[in-house]
Structure 1
Amino acid sequence: MVLDYRGLRCPLPVIRARKALRRVPSGREALITADDASAPADFTAFCDIAGHELLGIAEHEGLFEIRLRTGRKGR
């Protein structure tokens, strides 16, 4: 699953990702792209709170690629 949140500012990327990931079965991988500077910290906290596993964060010329594995459903 790929979620593209370029051009959105905090807190919209996390809000939209939370809504999209609610329907995804546990154990699936997702790639989230965002260009908001707060995205790494926001998604680190989001994964911790929602029970998703943060697989990694990479940055390429201001674009963040956040990889996660879905965890507990419905949070």
Structure 2
Amino acid sequence: MTKAEPLRLDLKGLNCPLPVLKAGKALFALKPGDLLVVEATDPMAAIDIPHFCRQKGHRLVDQTTEGTVLRFTIAKGE
């Protein structure tokens, strides 16, 4: 059995609090352990998304920056 491809969410151009709210809504629809890749350009996402993951029990697998694009890979928690 192969693991499903991560769900990708393009949130570039959206400002706080929309990236976190939309990521939360997308995670709600996933199964525990599924991956969500979020791309955002709001600098506050670098603080908000890791904080959201800690609060809600999700695991921040990876966080990278390419120019103005912040990319987060999140594994849905139990």
TM-score w.r.t. length of structure 2 = 0.88
Question: Aligned Cα RMSD in Å?
Answer: 0.7
**Tell me, what secondary structure is at the counterpart of 2:37?**
strand
State the 1:40 CA deviation.
1.2
User: Counterpart in 1 of 2:58?
Assistant: 52
Q: Which runs of 5+ in 2 are unaligned?
A: 1-6
Identical aligned residues as a percent: 33
Q: Which structure: larger Rg?
A: 2
Structure 1 ranges of 4+ moved more than 3 A: none
Instruction: Summarize deviations over 1:23-69 as a string: whole Å, max 9, x none.
Output: 10000111100000011110010100111000111000110010110
Indicate the residue corresponding to 1:23 in structure 2.
Answer: 29
**Paired residues, number:** 72
The TM-score with structure 1 as length reference comes to 0.91
Partner of residue 3, structure 2:
none
Residue in 1 that maps onto 2:47: 41
